[in-house]
């Protein structure tokens, strides 16, 4: 019976109808929360435990990108995140979906990439019973995530997603796992307009610490910036460039810091470390003040750590306070926001002309020659010419191995988002799916993936993803018929005992690419390179350029393990015949 109320006139009236409470599945509200967070793409692969989420996706403006392997989905989400600075989102089912994604999660953790991984799980009543496609997602991923969440309350799922997105992007970014039991995602709940807001961002360090940094810089005669991936992740490139212009201090960079200062900038010396430029390593060893900006003193950079920059005081700036003095004790640690700290430091005119002259002399003395003997293709020269021809719109993704180091040593990068590589984890198979994410992030960019004949086989199935979505990805495959970096180490440190590195039975990669619907061609002579670069860059659509190179080529210089970075091995290029 309808409720009746008595009005002030004493006449009975019908009560106004209460608005009907809208309901939706928790999965649908989760997708709504991702929409409110500005998510454009979800990279994933469907399965039983995440069917409620895929059901909700059909009505969403978020575009789902179907990878052909969950690892590919994770790397693609990373590529998107590394270019945009936004959180990359991936979605996989339980069991093998999660275990296949694990490498992508670990890679995001190692390189501090913001990612939210939504992983299906069996219904709550079956958790812990060894049910079909059940694994302990929470336990398996614990060492390689910034934070983990298990969705228990369907009504709180939107708030959980909002919190996960904030945690992934704030402070030192990283991957966040949301484990979603199937019954929780399928539950019907009431919709609400009460959406949580993320907390405010932190600010710069106290002025007194910044004043001390200024004083240390003023008192140094040989200061040097050591720029790492944290500067790229925190979008501190402009602030780095500004302080370099204000002070004139030279700069070296890690693998992940390349492009924070353009590699052709007059103050840039080069990459440092195991395969760094000789001038960069010598400058580090000679400096009296090392200003580490978003760098973590990784072993590939420092060599024997107690011999690294032996005469230098250290200012260590990092968004993650736990990194400061973790490996090398800092004389001053600054843990606030990198852009704000860098902009706040202004030590005034510096009297460092003799130091700048010395650094310029090192650069000139150790300038690299690209005149390789023989008629074969010299990979460093090819990569240098390709990066120049591609221009300022270039984004280059790489796999892991010799080609990765050649790219870092020889290619031109004007911004850090132009160089995407698996640094901390060193995961082969990263390049092509990361290129997919990059080209979705910047469709008008010239996106190039540089891969090797070992690496491409790790995620070659993603050529189907490229074809499905009509992505204009350019792939340069350097084929030396071996696992080149492992072979190089075996040659130098294991008396040439080349164990299990022979890939001379490689398939016809150009034919495989064409079978996936891509344009493809093969070259093997130096005279073919100019025309091949033009064809790669100017052919519409996705193209694979298969390049055969000499398997004896090594990456030089090289710092052997356990020695100072000034102890570099170097050898002339072998004849490319």
Q: Do domains 24-190 and 207-365 have the same CATH topology?
A: yes
Check residue 154 and give its pLDDT.
94
Q: Quickly tell me which residue has 């299906």 as its tokens.
A: 120
Is residue 70 flagged as an active site residue? yes
Q: Region 417-442: what's the mean pLDDT?
A: 97
Check residue 64 and give its pLDDT.
98
Check residue 308 and give its pLDDT.
97
Q: How confident is the model at residue 60 (pLDDT cuts 50, 70, 90)?
A: very high
pLDDT beyond 80 at 435: yes
- Which of the residues 51, 124, 133, 304 is marked catalytic? 133
Is residue 500 flagged as an active site residue? no
Q: How far is CA 83 from the centre of its chain?
A: 8
- Which of the residues 149, 165, 396, 485 is marked catalytic? 485
Q: Which has the closest alpha carbon to 542: 508, 516, 568?
A: 516
Q: Region 463-467: what's the mean pLDDT?
A: 98
Domain ranges of the chain: 24-190, 207-365, 379-548
Check residue 4 and give its pLDDT.
46
Greater confidence, 161 or 368?
Answer: 161
Q: Region 328-351: what's the mean pLDDT?
A: 93
Tokens read off for 107? 């890679």
Check residue 204 and give its pLDDT.
56
Measured between alpha carbons, how far is residue 540 from residues 472, 473, 544 in Å? 7, 10, 12
Any idea which fold 24-190 has? Rossmann fold (3.40.50)
Are 81 and 116 spatial neighbours (Cβ–Cβ below 8 Å)?
A: no
- Which of the residues 86, 146, 182, 256 is marked catalytic? 182
Backbone torsions φ then ψ of 177, nearest 5 degrees: -100, 130
pLDDT beyond 50 at 18: yes
Among 3-12, 308-317, 397-406, name the one with the lowest average pLDDT: 3-12
Query: CA 459, CA 103: separation in Å to the nearest integer?
Result: 12
Query: CA 73, CA 64: separation in Å to the nearest integer?
Result: 10
Tokens read off for 98? 């999660």
Residue 175's DSSP bridge partners are 115
Are 477 and 449 spatial neighbours (Cβ–Cβ below 8 Å)?
A: no
Is residue 138 flagged as an active site residue? no
Are 186 and 207 spatial neighbours (Cβ–Cβ below 8 Å)?
A: no
Assign domain 207-365 to its CATH superfamily: TPP-binding domain (3.40.50.1220)
Is residue 133 flagged as an active site residue? yes
Is residue 182 flagged as an active site residue? yes
- Which of the residues 132, 142, 534, 571 is marked catalytic? 132
Q: How far is CA 456 from the centre of its chain?
A: 18
Q: Which has the closest alpha carbon to 441: 70, 52, 80?
A: 80
Check residue 73 and give its pLDDT.
98
- The yes or no reply on domain 379-548 and CATH 3.40.50.970 is yes
Q: Region 95-109: what's the mean pLDDT?
A: 98
b/e per residue 481-497 (b: at least 16 CB within 10 A): bbbbbbbbbbeeeeeee
Q: Region 365-387: what's the mean pLDDT?
A: 92
Mean pLDDT rounded to a whole number for the chain: 93
Check residue 203 and give its pLDDT.
55
Backbone torsions φ then ψ of 68, nearest 5 degrees: -105, 5
Measured between alpha carbons, how far is residue 387 from residues 159, 339, 370, 397, 548 in Å? 44, 28, 15, 12, 19
pLDDT above 90 as % of the chain: 86
- Which of the residues 30, 37, 43, 70 is marked catalytic? 70
pLDDT beyond 90 at 187: yes
Greater confidence, 417 or 348?
Answer: 417
């Amino acid at each position: 019976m309808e409720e009746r109320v008595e009005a002030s006139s004493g006449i009975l009236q019908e009560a106004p109808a209460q608005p009907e409470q809208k309901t939706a599945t928790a999965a649908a509200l989760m997708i709504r929360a991702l929409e409110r967070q500005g998510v454009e793409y979800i990279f994933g692969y469907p399965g039983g435990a995440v069917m409620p989420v895929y059901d909700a996706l059909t009505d969403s403006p978020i575009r789902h990108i179907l990878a052909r392997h969950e690892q590919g989905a994770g790397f693609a989400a990373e590529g998107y995140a590394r270019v945009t600075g936004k959180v990359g989102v991936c979605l996989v089912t339980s069991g093998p979906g999660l275990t296949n994604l694990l490498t992508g999660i670990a890679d995001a953790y190692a390189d501090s990439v913001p990612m939210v991984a939504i992983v299906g799980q069996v219904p709550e009543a079956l958790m812990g019973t060894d049910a079909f496609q059940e694994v302990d997602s929470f336990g398996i991923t614990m060492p390689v995530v910034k934070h983990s969440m298990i969705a228990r309350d369907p009504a709180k799922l939107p708030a959980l997603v909002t919190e996960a997105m904030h945690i992934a992007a704030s402070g030192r970014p990283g991957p966040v796992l949301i484990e979603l039991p199937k019954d929780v995602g399928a539950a019907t709940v009431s919709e609400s307009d009460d959406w949580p807001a993320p907390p405010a961002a932190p600010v710069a360090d106290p002025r007194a610490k910044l004043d001390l940094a200024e004083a240390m810089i003023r008192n140094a005669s040989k200061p040097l910036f050591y720029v790492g991936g944290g500067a790229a992740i925190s979008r501190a490139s402009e602030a780095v460039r500004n302080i370099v212009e204000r002070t004139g201090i030279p700069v070296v960079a890690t693998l992940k810091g390349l492009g924070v200062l353009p590699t052709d900038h007059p103050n840039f010396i080069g990459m440092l470390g195991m395969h760094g430029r000789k001038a960069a390593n010598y400058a580090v060893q000679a400096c009296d003040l090392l200003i580490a900006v978003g760098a973590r003193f990784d072993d590939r950079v420092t060599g024997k750590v107690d011999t690294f920059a032996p005469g230098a005081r250290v200012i260590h700036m990092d968004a993650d306070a736990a990194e400061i003095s973790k490996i090398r004790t800092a004389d001053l640690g600054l843990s606030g926001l990198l852009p704000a700290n860098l902009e706040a430091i202004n030590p005034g005119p510096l009297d460092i002309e003799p130091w700048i002259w010395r650094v310029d002399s090192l650069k000139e003395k150790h300038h690299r020659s690209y005149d390789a003997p023989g008629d074969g293709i010299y990979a460093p020269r090819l990569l240098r010419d390709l990066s120049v021809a591609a221009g300022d719109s270039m984004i280059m993704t790489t796999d892991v191995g010799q080609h990765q180091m050649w790219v870092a040593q020889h290619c031109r990068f004007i911004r850090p988002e132009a160089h995407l590589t698996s640094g901390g984890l060193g995961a082969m198979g990263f390049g092509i799916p990361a290129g997919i994410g990059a080209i979705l992030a910047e469709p008008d960019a010239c996106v190039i993936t540089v891969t090797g004949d070992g690496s491409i086989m790790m995620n070659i199935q993603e050529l189907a993803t490229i074809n499905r979505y009509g992505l204009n990805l350019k792939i340069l495959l350097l084929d030396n018929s071996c696992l080149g970096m492992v072979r190089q180490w075996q040659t130098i440190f294991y008396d040439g005992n080349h164990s299990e590195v022979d890939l001379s039975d490689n398939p016809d990669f150009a034919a495989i690419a064409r079978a996936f619907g891509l344009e493809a061609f093969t070259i093997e002579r130096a005279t073919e390179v100019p025309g091949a670069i033009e064809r790669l860059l100017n052919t519409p659509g996705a193209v694979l350029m298969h390049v055969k190179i000499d398997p004896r080529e090594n990456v030089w210089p090289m710092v052997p393990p356990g020695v100072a970075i000034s102890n570099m091995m170097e050898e002339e290029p072998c004849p490319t015949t």
